Amino acid sequence: MELMKSSIKAIIGNIVSAEEYLEEENVDKFEDIIIEAENVFVTGAGRSGLAAKAFAMRLMHLGVSAYVVGETISPAINKGDCIIAISGSGETNTIVSATKIAKKRGSKILAVTSYPESTLGELSDCCLIVKGRTMQEVDDENYMKRQIYGNYTSLTPLGTAFELTTLVFLDAIVSELMEKMHQTESDLKARHTVLE
Amino acid sequence: MELMKSSIKAIIGNIVSAEEYLEEENVDKFEDIIIEAENVFVTGAGRSGLAAKAFAMRLMHLGVSAYVVGETISPAINKGDCIIAISGSGETNTIVSATKIAKKRGSKILAVTSYPESTLGELSDCCLIVKGRTMQEVDDENYMKRQIYGNYTSLTPLGTAFELTTLVFLDAIVSELMEKMHQTESDLKARHTVLE
Amino acid sequence: MELMKSSIKAIIGNIVSAEEYLEEENVDKFEDIIIEAENVFVTGAGRSGLAAKAFAMRLMHLGVSAYVVGETISPAINKGDCIIAISGSGETNTIVSATKIAKKRGSKILAVTSYPESTLGELSDCCLIVKGRTMQEVDDENYMKRQIYGNYTSLTPLGTAFELTTLVFLDAIVSELMEKMHQTESDLKARHTVLE
Amino acid sequence: MELMKSSIKAIIGNIVSAEEYLEEENVDKFEDIIIEAENVFVTGAGRSGLAAKAFAMRLMHLGVSAYVVGETISPAINKGDCIIAISGSGETNTIVSATKIAKKRGSKILAVTSYPESTLGELSDCCLIVKGRTMQEVDDENYMKRQIYGNYTSLTPLGTAFELTTLVFLDAIVSELMEKMHQTESDLKARHTVLE
């Protein structure tokens, strides 16, 4: 169980050090764009997509009109809506494509990425920086990065650090949205599905 | 390709003969419950679940507030809502369970099944009968049924006949909903996702 | 219920007239590529995606190692695999992109489209032509096409004709695969999920 | 951003205090059952279902034959297989039902729950205890619990604490599986989907 404990420690370590990149003004703007949007779409590939869904479910619990790109009943995105696009590298093909279409339609773009200077970051109206070794860096043969991250490859393989930190940050944003939207836990619970 | 053609013929044959079980009053009621509902939930297991999703997508295109049970952003079901439950046998565990909960919450129940006298059929406010060999009958060792359906087991294996006929009937109901709700194809198209 | 009956008639009409475009040699090749593949991936957007899933489920029942692009446990596609890409227009962005990547990886491409001369059709090793008014034609302002299809816009709105015909053709191919792979309905049933 | 930081702190706090309930022998057994299983199924409702999918994806990356209950290509579960069922309360209807069927079929049961004495816990061959306020406790009107958890209701609403701790623990188990199965990050990466 030593390895398990080291892995948990590495995951928590990443969350804590990623906190330093959070900027108050930015987080505020991120939340306000969600609150002001008519519909909020979320999208992400693979495990980033699962983080997107986890957040969308809470947005629905909060009373936000939320949709997951690719799920059955997601309608057309329009001006007045926003899309939250999650991609560690900020370069995932399908995510960048969807974001470009959304931008052309006049929607606001919220990026969740490790790289604000990425294509996704550059497209965004507001970028939540979530540092964490991403799939892109796994590809990167750069020696220095290997040196830095080397020890973590088996503790948080592939995009694990980015994905889990994203989940935690987005759930923490839920707390702030509850306050800003005057929603109690009971309000959230009343919207929670009963068919399970 | 002879077998393929025979299979297509068997599928069309099932659709045509199932039409005889459609009753005008019933179809009308089915449509009106959808139109009057605040939210419409759909549910089905396996390929019946895919038929449910295909219908839910068109409901969204029609401007109906539609949800798929089990998808991320489906909220609590309440009085004023309806649930469309699809099950050939009318006895699928998870579908019957969800329907019972929905009924307790005061929602209207629309059943799509081959057996109006099944548990699901009995629970329903309105039952769209879709005849077609179902998964239940595959289990049934009754000699007579084997005689009747015997030739079809490889042309429309398992629930194929039920599932495809359900899809066709529900899409035909979309036509009627378009008229009743004064929705043109352009209206539907304007709500179609653009992120694909 | 007149409109419902007309819609069913239009759907069956489309299936029957689309049959004329089926070519024996082509269907055979389509089936053989599936049988010979190590893994079979399916992909499609919106309701074409639901048709893809319905077919993938039957492939699994047949004992084929099948995966749906975008579902949780779909692995990397490689040489020796094939991808079945469904798109009425043959131009759906995400589907064409996935197909191009699959081709670069050395996989065989099976297209299901109304347009063999489309980007998807041209990329394919084998193209199953499924005629039916597609989403693309809904966009097409060409007068002649509107004349031809005009009456059908409310009977089979958007891609309905293509999607349903695709479902029927793929299910008919299941019959042929059962024969070629010596699989009985009981074999299929034994692989059917029991957790529903 | 104070609330966000408090929420992150509460989430990390829950992870750290839940670690105390981990027992080496138990974690080892959990991992070994996965390694020895022919097929590994995962299931969970709502956000626990998303945690289940996140773990299943990594199992696939590890080379395990993994399936998500309810996804398109999940086959019948049999003796020799195992199912990982995630439920904070251990009483979620659909999850307990699926687990009972799996047990009857002779599969091994791995529970992930806060309550080893729950129905799910009692059904299991091995139970990974993940402490964290669960949806069940949200319902619980017990004064003492409200006292204890009161401050956390808006920091980790509903099942947040359980769900995130589950994700972290399962990802930490991935590290141990990598070692036990002699899989490097490169091995995992080679199985990662390329179609996104």
DSSP string, chain C: -HHHHHHHHHHHHHHHHHGGG--HHHHHHHHHHHHH-SSEEEEESHHHHHHHHHHHHHHHHTT--EEETTSTT-----TT-EEEEE-SSS--HHHHHHHHHHHHTT-EEEEEES-TTSHHHHH-SEEEE--S--HHHHH---HHHHHHHGGGTTTS-TTHHHHHHHHHHHHHHHHHHHHHTT--HHHHHHHS----
- Residues B152-180 have pLDDT tens digits of 678 999 999 999 999 999 999 999 999 99
Residues in D touching A153 (Cβ below 8 Å) = 184-185
Q: Choosing from C163, C176, C179, C185, which is the catalytic residue?
A: C163
> Does the pLDDT at position B195 exceed 60?
yes
Higher pLDDT, residue A150 or D156: D156
Residues in D touching B94 (Cβ below 8 Å) = 94, 97
User: Which chains have 3 or more CB–CB distances shorter than 8 Å to chain C?
Assistant: A, B, D
The whole-chain average pLDDT of chain D stands at 93
Query: If pLDDT is split at 50, 70 and 90, which confidence band does D118 have?
Result: very high
Query: If pLDDT is split at 50, 70 and 90, which confidence band does C27 have?
Result: very high
CA A156, A162, A165 angle in degrees (round to 5)?
A: 100
Average pLDDT on D64-84 reads 98
Distance from CA of B56 to the nearest CA of C (A): 10
Residues in C touching D43 (Cβ below 8 Å) = 195
Give the per-residue pLDDT at D154: 87
Q: Which helix (H) or strand (E) holds A195?
A: none
Lowest mean pLDDT among B18-27, B135-144, C61-70, D56-65: B135-144
CA-CA distances (angstroms) from residue C145 to A150, B189, C24, C89, C91? 61, 17, 29, 15, 19
Cβ-contact C102, C41 below 8 angstroms: yes
- Positive or negative: CA dihedral B5, B9, B10, B11: positive
Cβ-contact C74, D194 below 8 angstroms: no
> Does the pLDDT at position D57 exceed 60?
yes
Cβ-contact B79, B105 below 8 angstroms: yes
Of C56, C101, C196, the CB nearest to D72: C56
Distance from CA of D137 to the nearest CA of B (A): 19
| Buried residues in A98-120 as b, exposed as e (16+ CB within 10 A) | bbebbbebebbbbbbbbbbebbb
Cβ-contact D7, D155 below 8 angstroms: yes
* Chain C contact residues (CB < 8 Å to D): 41, 43, 53, 56-57, 59-60, 66-77, 98, 101-102, 105, 190-196
DSSP state of B152: G
Give the per-residue pLDDT at D150: 52
Average pLDDT on D104-127 reads 98
* Chain C contact residues (CB < 8 Å to A): 70, 93-94, 97
Residue of D nearest to B69 (CA): D46
- Residues A84-96 have pLDDT tens digits of 999 999 999 999 9
Residues in D touching C82 (Cβ below 8 Å) = none
Distance from CA of B94 to the nearest CA of D (A): 7
Which SS3 state, helix, strand or coil, does residue A68 take?
A: strand
Q: Choosing from B36, B163, B176, B196, which is the catalytic residue?
A: B163
Of D66, D75, D195, the CB nearest to C193: D75
- Residues C116-129 have pLDDT tens digits of 999 999 999 999 99
What is the spatial distance between Cα D156 and Cα D149, in angstroms, rounded to a whole number?
10
Cβ-contact D158, D34 below 8 angstroms: no
CA-CA distances (angstroms) from residue C58 to B177, C55, C129, C185? 31, 5, 20, 11
- Residues B24-37 have pLDDT tens digits of 999 999 999 999 99
Choose among B154, B167, B135, B134: nearest CA to B49. Answer: B167
Give the per-residue pLDDT at D50: 98
Residues β-bridged to residue C133: none
Please indicate whether, in this complex, the C-beta atoms of B77 and A101 are within 8 angstroms of each other.
no
Give the per-residue pLDDT at D89: 96
Residues in A touching B86 (Cβ below 8 Å) = none
Cβ-contact A82, A34 below 8 angstroms: yes
- Residues D149-160 have pLDDT tens digits of 555 678 999 999
Contacts of C20 (CB under 8 A, 6+ apart): none
Length of chain B (residues): 196
The whole-chain average pLDDT of chain B stands at 93
- Lookup: tokens for C136: 């693309």
Average pLDDT on A56-81 reads 98
How many secondary structure helices (H) and strands (E) does chain A include? 9, 5
Q: Choosing from D2, D163, D176, D196, which is the catalytic residue?
A: D163
> Does the pLDDT at position A152 exceed 70?
no
Higher pLDDT, residue A4 or A144: A4
Strand order in the sheet with A66-68: A66-68, A40-44, A82-86, A108-113, A126-129
Contacts of D46 (CB under 8 A, 6+ apart): A57, A192, A193, A196, D159
| Residue B106, number of CB atoms within 10 A of its CB | 11
Give yes or no: B163 in active site: yes
Distance from CA of A14 to the nearest CA of B (A): 27
- Lookup: tokens for C147: 């004349």
What is the spatial distance between Cα A120 and Cα A88, in angstroms, rounded to a whole number?
10
Please indicate whether, in this complex, the C-beta atoms of D76 and C190 are within 8 angstroms of each other.
yes
Please indicate whether, in this complex, the C-beta atoms of B175 and C27 are within 8 angstroms of each other.
no
* C-alpha torsion D171→D173→D175→D180, nearest 10: -150
- Residues B107-157 have pLDDT tens digits of 999 999 999 999 999 999 999 999 997 666 665 545 455 555 555 678 999
Q: Tell me how far the alpha carbon of residue D136 is from its chain's centroid.
A: 16
Give the per-residue pLDDT at A84: 98
- Lookup: tokens for C28: 């055979």
Choose among B14, B8, B4: nearest CA to B165. Answer: B14
Contacts of C163 (CB under 8 A, 6+ apart): B54, C47, C48, C50, C51, C88, C132
* Chain D contact residues (CB < 8 Å to C): 41, 43, 53, 56-57, 59-60, 66-77, 98, 101-102, 105, 190-196
Give the per-residue pLDDT at C154: 87
Residue of D nearest to B74 (CA): D46
Query: If pLDDT is split at 50, 70 and 90, which confidence band does C133 have?
Result: confident
Distance from CA of B52 to the nearest CA of D (A): 14
User: Which chains have 3 or more CB–CB distances shorter than 8 Å to chain B?
Assistant: A, C, D
Please indicate whether, in this complex, the C-beta atoms of D175 and A154 are within 8 angstroms of each other.
yes
With a pLDDT cut of 90, the percent of chain B lying above it is 88
Give the per-residue pLDDT at C151: 55
Give the per-residue pLDDT at D153: 74
| Residue C144, number of CB atoms within 10 A of its CB | 8
Amino acid making up residue B83: I
Distance from CA of B95 to the nearest CA of C (A): 8
- Residues A106-148 have pLDDT tens digits of 999 999 999 999 999 999 999 999 999 766 666 654 545 555 5
Please indicate whether, in this complex, the C-beta atoms of B50 and C46 are within 8 angstroms of each other.
no
Q: How many CB pairs under 8 A join B and C?
A: 161
Of A70, A93, A97, the CB nearest to C70: A70
Give the per-residue pLDDT at A154: 87
Cβ-contact A158, D185 below 8 angstroms: yes
Residue of D nearest to B94 (CA): D94
Please indicate whether, in this complex, the C-beta atoms of A4 and D176 are within 8 angstroms of each other.
yes
Please indicate whether, in this complex, the C-beta atoms of D45 and A19 are within 8 angstroms of each other.
no
Give the per-residue pLDDT at C128: 98
**HEC-encoded secondary structure of D87-133:** CCCCCCHHHHHHHHHHHHCCCEEEEEECCCCCHHHHHCCEEEECCCC
- Positive or negative: CA dihedral D96, D99, D104, D105: positive
Residue of A nearest to D52 (CA): A50
What is the spatial distance between Cα A75 and Cα B62, in angstroms, rounded to a whole number?
11
Choose among A14, A43, A40: nearest CA to A108. Answer: A40
What is the spatial distance between Cα A160 and Cα D55, in angstroms, rounded to a whole number?
11
- Lookup: tokens for D9: 């702190």
Distance from CA of D77 to the nearest CA of A (A): 21
Residues in A touching B59 (Cβ below 8 Å) = 73
> Is residue A11 classed exposed, middle or buried when 0-12, 13-18 and 19+ CB atoms within 10 A define those classes?
buried
Greatest alpha-carbon pair distance for chain D in Å reads 52
Of D168, D179, D185, the CB nearest to A11: D168
Q: Which helix (H) or strand (E) holds B85?
A: strand B82-86
What is the spatial distance between Cα A61 and Cα A41, in angstroms, rounded to a whole number?
15
Instruction: For chain D, give percent helix, strand, coil, nearest 5.
Output: 55, 10, 35
The answer to whether the pTM exceeds 0.80 is: yes
Residues in A touching D57 (Cβ below 8 Å) = 46-47
Residues in B touching A192 (Cβ below 8 Å) = 75-76
- Positive or negative: CA dihedral D134, A192, A49, C111: positive
Of A92, A167, A169, the CB nearest to D196: A92
Q: Choosing from A20, A163, A176, A196, which is the catalytic residue?
A: A163
Cβ-contact A85, A98 below 8 angstroms: yes
- Residues C161-189 have pLDDT tens digits of 999 999 999 999 999 999 999 999 999 99
User: Which chains have 3 or more CB–CB distances shorter than 8 Å to chain A?
Assistant: B, C, D
Average pLDDT on B14-20 reads 96
CA-CA distances (angstroms) from residue D93 to A75, B103, C38, C53? 31, 16, 37, 26
Give the per-residue pLDDT at C145: 52
- Residues D32-46 have pLDDT tens digits of 999 999 999 999 999
DSSP string, D152-163: GTTTS-TTHHHH
Please indicate whether, in this complex, the C-beta atoms of C57 and D72 are within 8 angstroms of each other.
yes
Residue of B nearest to D71 (CA): B46
Give the per-residue pLDDT at D134: 65
Cβ-contact B123, B107 below 8 angstroms: no
Average pLDDT on A9-15 reads 96
Residues in B touching D97 (Cβ below 8 Å) = 93-94, 97
Give the per-residue pLDDT at B82: 98
Q: Which helix (H) or strand (E) holds B67?
A: strand B66-68
Please indicate whether, in this complex, the C-beta atoms of D77 and C195 are within 8 angstroms of each other.
yes
